[in-house]
């Protein structure tokens, strides 16, 4: 598996957002943010390519937004 600079930067960006969501979810005891943070930190380890990482990360954030708007 070849790792490019774009893949590393996308992984770092998505994981940083995941870490901040995880910390927020843990402090505020918010299950959707906690779960989304864990998933955002973990999935870049199994997905290769910058665009797939950004796309999946965006989909997870959209799902989190919809979950919070629905009242979870």
What digits encode the pLDDT tens for the residues 5-21? 999 999 999 999 999 99
What is the Cα–Cα distance from 34 to 26, expressed in whole angstroms? Answer: 6
Tell me which DSSP letter residue 3 carries: -
- Assigned token pair, 67: 């979950």
pTM: 0.90
**Count of C-beta atoms within a 10 Å radius of residue 22:** 19
Domain that holds residue 64: 5-69
Residue 1, pLDDT above cutoff 70: no
Domain count, the chain: 1
What pLDDT digit, counting tens, does each position of 22-52 carry? Answer: 999 999 999 999 999 999 999 999 998 999 9
pLDDT at 64 over 70: yes
């Amino acid at each position: 598996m070849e790792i490019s600079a774009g893949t590393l930067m996308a992984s770092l960006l998505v994981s940083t957002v995941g870490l901040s969501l995880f910390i927020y979810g843990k402090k505020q005891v918010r299950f959707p943010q906690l779960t989304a943070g864990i998933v955002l930190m973990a999935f870049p380890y199994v997905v290769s390519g910058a665009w797939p990482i950004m796309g999946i990360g965006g989909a997870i954030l959209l799902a989190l937004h919809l979950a919070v708007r629905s009242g979870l």
